[in-house]
A and B are shown apart, each in its own frame.
Chain A
Amino acid sequence: AQSVTQLDSQVPVFEEAPVELRCNYSSSVSVYLFWYVQYPNQGLQLLLKYLSGSTLVKGINGFEAEFNKSQTSFHLRKPSVHISDTAEYFCAVNTGFQKLVFGTGTRLLVSP
């Protein structure tokens, strides 16, 4: 069975600083990987996804992630964050049957 680990429950950062949110997964088969963002009292919005092809994936709002098969990681990065990026970020994996397994989430707190 697949699982997702987000080691950082909370990441505080100053505005305009770079940020990396870590995600590691475990699966015995090929995976599809996703990052979602959730603002308070809202549903999930897809930031980016890796299905195949280039391991560097660019998403919305200036975010990008790199799929690293040898390290079973899919870390999310942004070179310069804004106050508006403050939200909960979820990494998720599926193995092609649409069923998603989510990590526990990382709260990104951007301060001025």
Chain B
Amino acid sequence: GAVVSQHPSWVICKSGTSVKIECRSLDFQATTMFWYRQFPKQSLMLMATSNEGSKATYEQGVEKDKFLINHASLTLSTLTVTSAHPEDSSFYICSAGTSGTNEQFFGPGTRLTVL
């Protein structure tokens, strides 16, 4: 149980284009989803927290207009990197949690490369 998927697993795009990454909880309802960014050989940095049906809460320093997060249902959250630039190249990982628990279940990650 508690499986989280991400799609795509990797994506290459041109500078200036937008990229959408999907995060799905496959066998449970995720009241909260989290988006992380991980640079090579570094730890995970929380970008934002999203609750189903409400606006995401962004961490300090994360541009909300650049990283659009939508949590339209209890099983799906999307992260859209708008007008991507090479410095946005990174490994993006989502996780999902349910109310009343202290555990997050992580997706396999999406490798974004912006040329």
**Which of A43, A94, A102 is the one whose CB lies under 8 Å from B109?**
A43
Q: Does A63 contact B (CB under 8 A)?
A: no
In the bound complex, residues from chain A placing their C-beta under 8 Å from that of B6 are 43
CB interface residues, A 39-68, toward B, < 8 Å: 41-46, 49, 51
Which residues 56-79 of B have a CB within 8 angstroms of A? none
B104 contacts which chain A residues (CB < 8 A)? 98, 100
Q: How far is the CB of B10 from chain A (nearest CB, A)?
A: 8
Interface residues of B, dominant DSSP:
strand
Q: Nearest Cβ distance between residue A106 and chain B, in whole angstroms? A: 10
Contact indicator B107/A105 (Cβ below 8 Å)? no
Q: Do B49 and A99 touch across chains, with their CB atoms under 8 A apart?
A: yes
Question: Number of A residues whose C-beta is below 8 Å from B?
Answer: 21
- Report the bound CA distance from A43 to B103 in whole Å: 15
- The reply on A18 being an interface residue by CB < 8 A is no
Judge whether B93 and A99 touch: CB under 8 Å. Answer: no
How many whole Å from A23's CB to the nearest CB in chain B? Answer: 12
CB-CB under 8 A for A96 and B102, given A42-B109, A43-B108, A43-B109: yes
> Roughly how many angstroms separate A103 CA and B109 CA in the complex, as a whole number?
18
- Closest B residue, CB atoms, query A36: B106
Query: Is B103 a contact partner of A46 (Cβ separation < 8 A)?
Result: yes
A38 CB to closest chain B CB (Å) equals: 9
Q: Which of B11-19, B39-47, B81-89 contacts A (4 or more CB under 8 A)?
A: B39-47
Determine how close the nearest CB of chain B comes to the CB of A48; give it in whole angstroms: 11
Q: Are B93 and A43 in contact (CB under 8 A)?
A: yes
Binary per-residue interface labels of chain B (1-39) against chain A in the complex, 1 for a CB within 8 Å, 0 otherwise: 000101000000000000000000000000010100000
- Establish whether residues B43 and A102, one from each chain, have CB atoms under 8 Å apart when the complex forms: yes
Question: B46 near A49 (CB under 8 angstroms)?
Answer: no
Check: A35 CB closer than 8 A to any chain B CB.
no
- What are 18 A-to-B residue pairs whose CB atoms are below 8 Å? A41-B91, A43-B107, A43-B109, A44-B93, A44-B95, A44-B106, A45-B106, A46-B106, A49-B103, A94-B102, A96-B102, A98-B49, A98-B97, A98-B101, A98-B102, A99-B49, A100-B34, A105-B43
